[in-house]
């Protein structure tokens, strides 16, 4: 009875909401702030049952953003969506503000209330969905209308743009954001370590001050972009809210100290030095006020105060340029602080709801600080004569990595769903950007061959050897029905280039006309044959791995080709995946059980399921070895 009444109440309240938002997969994104209603009940009444009461006074939101800077009680939002597409689709509700403590989404479906909260793990195609901004999936059937309720709780100001993306738009936005922010934090982290090295090696105070200034800038950016959510210390996240304003004050303190040393203010008289020291002292004096000010007031004052050191630093840079117009580092310093000021201004405009955050505003603060870090780094490099050599070496390594990545890309097979009418599946999960696993297919008039290889090690050398192994496979084209002979030829062609490396490989030949299959195994995990009933059999053939020192001595195995079932080839990275908490290996027994339990899946789905389970077992940590799996369905489909 209660679910029926709840469902009836939802229908009644949804009919009274603002206009229904029409969603279609062809539309990439829609801003919905002006199409929602809001409610601010007393804190003790802030739950979904109270919010659903008919007597509540929902008000339309007339702004292009959700912006309630003075509100401290939980805020509720309500809107309805209508999926006008012809097939089910998952949309994503995206909030632009990463500094709000918690978002909760409620909707009624299948006779019950579904609740999602920011910070909960969401799966997409059995993989975790990561977003540095709060995001919620909304899966709708054709013509389905659903009313969504959002609860917002935060010690910080309530401000956020709200948009709904289709799947492709959201994934594109997430990938671009992750790429840009990964590059930013990666570069910032490298500069962090490099500056620490310079400070320790050269013993210049300006390097120490820049090191701490850079640290505080990275902390501020971690918070303002939302990536701070990935850092967990203890069970409470309250410390993150306090870290943000404290980092702002630390940025002011160490930024001014760095300015004092870098521009050598002592040369320009005591007046500028005294003002700088006064601002430093004021920042230090204000810092402990967090003990008696409420958090929101402390943050608001920090955001206002931080502009003073930035403007003062720009003024000092201009003054230094007039005094020493030939010093290029003074110009760099000016543009560095100017970019930081511009980024902070755009970010502040976002907070106030004046501009869209999902355009340049989303990246304004990290972009401004990235430009600042870059320009200041260049200015510092001018004072270090031996950086040119280090930079040239880095460029050479980058060029080698690009070549190796291209080789790696060429090693992977192009997407195919069938070989000679047999359905196939393939997944590859490298442990690094450059690995040594690869799969290759060869065909002739009567059948086809599958080659799966695992080169020892990783990086450029492994990729080079794997590339040479792929080239040597052309020796197998004319004799596909002799896989053991092909393995011998491959070893001879690679003999002078292995350089201490070795590779395990398995050669599989299928002849549908003769209904036979041949296997040659060079030190590789055995082939798995899955019967139609789901039973598994390990099919092995004796043989050593391909090395420069020991002959192969392969024994080729010929078997009748089953009319149905599947074949699975894999590398030992599947078995050696490790649980980081218990140090337990995934292992052969667990792998075979997984294969048996999912034997009814098609080859590609089977590969996807195995990789997904291995990934979950290892707690989504990158594996110690490359993971490759190939599956072949033995029931031929007429092409």
Domain 173-384: top CATH class: mainly alpha
The yes-or-no verdict on residue 154 having pLDDT over 90 is: no
The CATH-assigned architecture of domain 412-633 is 4-Layer Sandwich (3.60)
% of the chain residues with pLDDT over 70: 81
The CATH-assigned architecture of domain 2-165 is Sandwich (2.60)
- How many beta carbons lie within 10 A of that of residue 296, not counting itself? 17
316: tokens are: 């000092």
Using 50, 70 and 90 to split pLDDT, how confident is the model at 5?
very low
The yes-or-no verdict on residue 64 having pLDDT over 50 is: yes
Per the prediction, the chain carries an average pLDDT of: 80
- pLDDT at res. 161: 77
Decide: helix, strand or coil at residue 324. coil
The helix or strand, by DSSP H or E, that contains position 319, with its residue range, turns out to be: helix 307-323
Please tell me the distance from the alpha carbon of residue 447 to that of residue 636, in angstroms, as a whole number: 12
pLDDT digit string, tens, across residues 399-441 = 666 766 666 666 677 778 888 899 999 998 877 666 678 888 8
- pLDDT at res. 320: 86
What value does the mean pLDDT take over residues 562-577? 91
Report whether 453 contacts 505 (CB < 8 A).
yes
DSSP 536-578: EEEE------B-SSS------EEEE--SSSEEEEE-TTTTT-B
Domain boundaries, the chain: 2-165, 173-384, 412-633
Q: Whole-model pTM above 0.75? A: no
pLDDT digit string, tens, across residues 157-182 = 666 778 899 988 888 887 887 777 77
- pLDDT at res. 519: 92
Report whether 39 contacts 53 (CB < 8 A).
no
- pLDDT at res. 594: 92
What value does the mean pLDDT take over residues 229-234? 60
- How many beta carbons lie within 10 A of that of residue 544, not counting itself? 17
What value does the mean pLDDT take over residues 202-216? 79
The yes-or-no verdict on residue 2 having pLDDT over 60 is: no
The yes-or-no verdict on residue 247 having pLDDT over 50 is: yes
The helix or strand, by DSSP H or E, that contains position 9, with its residue range, turns out to be: helix 2-15
Give the Å distances, CA to CA, from 295 to 231, 352, 443: 21, 18, 69
What value does the mean pLDDT take over residues 610-633? 86
pLDDT digit string, tens, across residues 279-321 = 889 888 888 887 777 777 777 777 778 778 888 888 888 888 8
- pLDDT at res. 272: 87
What value does the mean pLDDT take over residues 234-258? 77
pLDDT digit string, tens, across residues 443-458 = 888 899 999 988 887 7
DSSP 200-265: HHH--HHHHHHHHHHHHHHHHHHHHHTGGGG---SS--HHHHHHHHHHHHHHHHHHHHHHHHHTTG
- pLDDT at res. 356: 60
The yes-or-no verdict on residue 80 having pLDDT over 90 is: yes
CA dihedral 333, 334, 340, 343 (to 10 degrees): -140
């Amino acid at each position: 009875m209660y679910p029926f009444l709840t469902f009836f109440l939802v229908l009644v309240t949804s009919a009274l909401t603002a206009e229904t938002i029409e969603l279609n997969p062809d539309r990439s994104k829609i801003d919905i702030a002006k199409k929602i209603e809001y409610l601010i009940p007393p804190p003790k009444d802030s739950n979904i049952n109270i919010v659903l009461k008919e007597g509540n006074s929902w008000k339309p939101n007339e702004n292009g953003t959700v912006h309630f800077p003075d509100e401290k009680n939980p805020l509720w939002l309500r809107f309805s969506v209508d999926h006008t597409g012809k097939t089910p689709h998952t949309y994503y509700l995206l909030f632009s503000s990463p500094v709000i403590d918690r978002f909760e989404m409620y909707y009624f479906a299948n006779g019950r209330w579904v609740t999602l909260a920011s910070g909960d793990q969401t799966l997409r195609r059995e993989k975790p969905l990561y977003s540095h901004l709060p995001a919620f999936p909304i899966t709708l059937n054709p013509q389905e209308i659903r009313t969504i309720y959002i609860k917002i709780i935060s010690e910080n100001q309530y401000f956020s743009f709200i948009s709904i993306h289709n799947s492709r738009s959201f994934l594109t936005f997430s990938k671009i954001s992750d790429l840009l922010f990964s590059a930013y934090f990666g570069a910032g982290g490298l500069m962090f370590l490099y500056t620490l090295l310079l400070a320790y090696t050269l013993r210049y105070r300006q390097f120490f001050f820049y090191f701490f200034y850079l640290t505080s800038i990275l902390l501020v950016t971690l918070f303002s972009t939302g990536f701070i959510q990935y850092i967990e210390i203890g069970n409470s996240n309250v410390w993150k809210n306090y870290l943000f304003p404290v980092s702002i004050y630390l940025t002011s303190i160490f930024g001014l100290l760095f300015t004092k040393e870098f521009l050598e203010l002592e040369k320009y008289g005591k007046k500028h030095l005294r003002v700088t020291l006064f601002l430093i002292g004021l920042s230090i004096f204000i810092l402990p006020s967090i003990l008696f000010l409420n958090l929101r007031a402390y943050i608001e004052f920090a955001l206002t105060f931080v502009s003073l050191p930035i403007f003062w630093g720009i003024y000092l840079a201009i003054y230094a340029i007039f005094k020493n117009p030939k010093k290029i580092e003074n110009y760099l310093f000016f543009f560095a602080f100017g970019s930081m000021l511009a980024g902070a201004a755009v970010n502040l405009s976002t907070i106030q709801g004046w501009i869209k955050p999902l355009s340049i505003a989303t990246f304004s603060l990290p972009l401004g600080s990235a430009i600042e870090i870059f320009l200041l780094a260049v200015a510092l490099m001018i004072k270090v004569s031996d950086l040119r050599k280090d930079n040239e070496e880095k460029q050479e390594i980058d060029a080698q990595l690009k070549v190796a990545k291209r080789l790696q890309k060429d090693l992977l097979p192009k997407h195919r769903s069938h070989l000679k009418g047999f359905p196939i599946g393939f997944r590859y999960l490298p442990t690094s950007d450059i690995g040594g696993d690869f799969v290759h297919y060869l065909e002739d008039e009567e059948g086809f061959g599958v080659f799966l290889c695992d080169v020892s090690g990783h990086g450029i050398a492994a990729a080079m050897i794997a590339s040479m192994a792929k080239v040597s496979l052309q020796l197998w084209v004319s004799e596909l029905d002799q896989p053991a002979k092909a393995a011998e030829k491959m070893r001879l062609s690679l003999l002078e280039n292995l350089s201490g490396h070795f590779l395990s490989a398995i050669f599989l030949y299928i002849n549908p006309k003769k209904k036979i299959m041949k296997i040659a195994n060079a030190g590789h995990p055995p082939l798995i044959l899955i019967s139609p009933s789901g039973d598994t059999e390990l099919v092995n053939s004796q043989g050593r791995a391909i090395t420069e020192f020991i002959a192969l001595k392969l024994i080729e195995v010929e078997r009748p080709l089953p009319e149905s079932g599947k074949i699975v080839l894999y590398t030992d990275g599947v078995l050696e995946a490790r649980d980081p908490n218990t140090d337990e290996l995934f292992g052969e027994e667990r792998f075979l059980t997984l294969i048996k339990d999912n034997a009814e899946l098609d080859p590609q789905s089977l590969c996807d399921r195995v990789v997904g389970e291995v990934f979950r077992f290892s707690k989504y940590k990158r594996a110690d070895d490359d993971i490759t799996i190939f599956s072949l369905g033995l029931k031929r489909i007429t092409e």
